[in-house]
Structure 1
Amino acid sequence: MTLPALRQTAIRQLVQAITDGPSGYRKARELVELFAGLGDDFERLWDESRIRYTARVIEDTQRRGQFELLLHTVLEAEAVEETRAALQQVFSEILAPYGWTLTQDTGSAITLRPLVIPWKPLTPDVLDVPNFQHVFLRDDERTLLQERWVEAVALQQAGLSRPMFLGLGAILEHVLLACAQSYPHVGHARHAEPHLGAILAWRLDVLLAVARDQGWITLTVLDFPYRVRHYRDYITPAHELKEGDFLNDALISDTWRTVRRTLDELHDRTRTTPPQARVTRGPRSIRFI
């Protein structure tokens, strides 16, 4: 099993973790010294910023099959055990959506391994799979959303909160977008006015506001955690601070209930109003990332 090529979002997250993460701010000179053991080709170019330099090293080590060596190099440079553990956790969370994690057995080195997700019994009132029998969803969409929900539950049970939030945000956005496209009159909704262009360009925070404005849901945009509303964005430490203790168990549990309640309200409140005929251009589905 080979680690797939990382997307730019993951590369940006790794860059941030290495240059400004748990270890603190690293100067360009410190980065050059850090990567010196990877080979002579990893010298910093005169016109490269420390961010672009680190991104190039990550991309090059992937192509050369040295990515695990890069992670080892960065982790072994940490003298403080708590900092090394925090950095390892960040790396594992970034790599989890690709099916990999960093593990360490007693007395052994840290190793990049395929992620094994332990399954636990589902909590019926929160984690059981919705039927997604919304009138505006196609059969293939219902099947896909059910699969994505099961994946999000597995991530939750494995304690991988970051990709779990990403999964919930993608599911909710897909359902809301399908709903908005099925009822064209939402184009006149007041929340959509500052967001010119096709509905496909709307983000989850806009779709939530439109759904509230149309009476499809009772919750407001601010009832959803920042990480759900802006799941597509690159999450920086500043964004993390906006939610404070967002990893608190109570907040995570409330997030599941909020998303589930929204899906149920969309199902119940739109069920009596058949969708209008619409003309689509190309695929309508959101791509899950």
Structure 2
Amino acid sequence: MPLDDRTAERIATVIVDMGGPYERKSYELEPLLARAGWVPAPEYDGTPRVRWLAEQLIEHRDDHARIERLLCRVCDPIEYDDGAEVAEEFRTILNEKLMAERLIISLVGGRPVLGEIGSDGSAQFTAPDDLDERISGLIVDTFAADLLVRRLSEARICASHGAHTMAVIGIGSLVEGLLYSVLVERDPKIRECGFTNEKGKEVSPHQVGLAMLISLAHDNGWIQFDARAFMDRVREFRNFIHPRLEMEKQSRFDDDTVMMCWAPVRALLNDLEEHLPPVPR
């Protein structure tokens, strides 16, 4: 990304599906973009649907997060009454159009995630290029946002220099900090009463771990069930900060392990951005 104009036109043609079994009417386009976290969603102006949607994709092509969320939303079973069957049809056709861009939408842990096509033809997942901006768009506290951006940079440095274990731990730490900040700032109950356990007893912030943060975000409807299960894998890797656990599991982390962690991070970001309005800057 950014997408070529012709790719944008082909994608718009697929999404609208003019005359096809899943044709999207004019009144369905704006809600689709809204569900994909386009805030504000552009207002449909009555011009031909395919051309209008292509123009939106071209106009916002530098906003990689918007484009990624729309592509993944169109391939998300939750978008359709018939669920996975229809979503899979769209994913197959969109991937044909994205091949020229060396992009591919894969199902990882049941969630659509945008990746790049590697030299061997497989999907490759990395941290989004604009992840620092996306973090700032979710967190009000600029100190917390800057701290997480620094941790992101450190995780990237570790990964690029072969320090795979520390990269995985860093990604888990980044996710923990992101969810903690978002919950503290955006959950009215937590803002008023702090963190509580299932029995309503207050829990110290020092005792709030990644598992609890993932569960709370899911309970708020900010992340889907698949995303929660997906993130549990990252939480498991995050626990390898303890050498004892690594010795027990006898794990060997590599580039593929790091890639497996970035995929759920991308799914998590898409979910949060679809459900939470961006922070004005």
Q: What range describes the TM-score normalised by the shorter chain of this pair? A: 0.3 to 0.5
**Bigger radius of gyration, 1 or 2?**
1
| Greater helix share, structure number | 2
Instruction: Name the TM-score, length of structure 1 as normaliser.
Output: 0.42
Scaled by the length of structure 2, the TM-score of the pair is 0.43
